[in-house]
A and B are shown apart, each in its own frame.
Chain A
């Protein structure tokens, strides 16, 4: 998949930059990155235009990643957009909750570019 538009939702600006760098190092052809600091900003960004991929933290102030996932369900723009959760918790129950709410995968922090590629690439192959 070429020239994708990615939304990265994380309350840490440093982590958003790391995720973007990992995507590029993993060889994913990123055309545009939109950043959001929480779920509220993330939903607003999706309403502005569809994304090819969404990567979201779970623990965030204002609106966490699980509430963000629930919010995405109501947006036509996001119906076919793969969402991958990024979590520090490593808690199985939180991951199960996220997958049940529609996430297509998860990445546990700390992570490598290879791990990002492993989780993200299959979701982009044949998506268009």
Chain B
């Protein structure tokens, strides 16, 4: 018998040191399969996230929070072009669509790797923000899992802010 999401989410998932490794693995798998590119953890990691395209996916259930992927517009266009089989996206909306899908797959792939999270956590439809000069404020004091990657020499960040 299927248990409801409320029942399954009764025990909250707590991040530990393995989550960063799981996140890196989730990102690399998505890029290998859907973009055809092997991306690596940044070494050394850049100081702070920046870039003009940010995709966000909400997570609710045993883990409540927001996964955010951020990169430059140039990187986003490159990713979208590869996803479209080498055809450059015709409009910014196509680029946002591609980055939104990538963030959605990273979130899904990540939660599938965490024991007890796959069935107990739902994802929202992605939201993509275009622009550089913005700040994100959370009403909770979130725990964070942050990963910096290098995509074809360019930085790409993925952060998971966990609010409960």
Residues on A facing B (Cβ under 8 Å)? 11-15, 17-18, 21, 59-61, 87-93, 96-97, 108-112
Contacts and interface: CB of A to CB of B under 8 A. Distances in A.
A90 B123 CA distance: 11
Contacts of B84: 14, 17-18
Contacts of B33: 110-112
B123 A88 contact: yes
A21 B108 contact: no
The B contact surface, by secondary structure, is helix
A73 B97 CA distance: 30
Which of A59, A92, A96, A112 has its CB near the most chain B CB atoms (within 10 A)? A59
A13 B97 contact: yes
A12 B97 contact: yes
A59 B123 contact: yes
B161 to A, nearest CB: 19
B2 A88 contact: no
B83 interface: yes
B125 A109 contact: no
Contacts, number: 66
Interface in B88-144: 89, 94, 97-98, 100-101, 104-105, 107-109, 111-112, 118-119, 122-123, 125
5 closest A-B pairs by beta carbon, nearest first, are A88-B108, A110-B33, A90-B112, A14-B98, A110-B34
13 contacts: A12-B97, A13-B97, A14-B83, A14-B97, A59-B104, A61-B125, A88-B123, A90-B108, A90-B112, A90-B118, A108-B108, A109-B104, A110-B109
A91 to B, nearest CB: 5
Interface of B: 2, 29-30, 33-34, 80, 83-85, 89, 94, 97-98, 100-101, 104-105, 107-109, 111-112, 118-119, 122-123, 125
A15 B102 CA distance: 10
Contact of A12 (B2, B101, B109, B112): B101
Given A21-B85, A93-B119, 12 more contacts: A11-B125, A12-B101, A14-B97, A14-B101, A17-B84, A18-B83, A59-B125, A61-B125, A88-B123, A91-B119, A110-B33, A111-B33
Given A12-B100, A13-B94, A88-B108, A18 B125 contact: no
A88 B85 contact: no
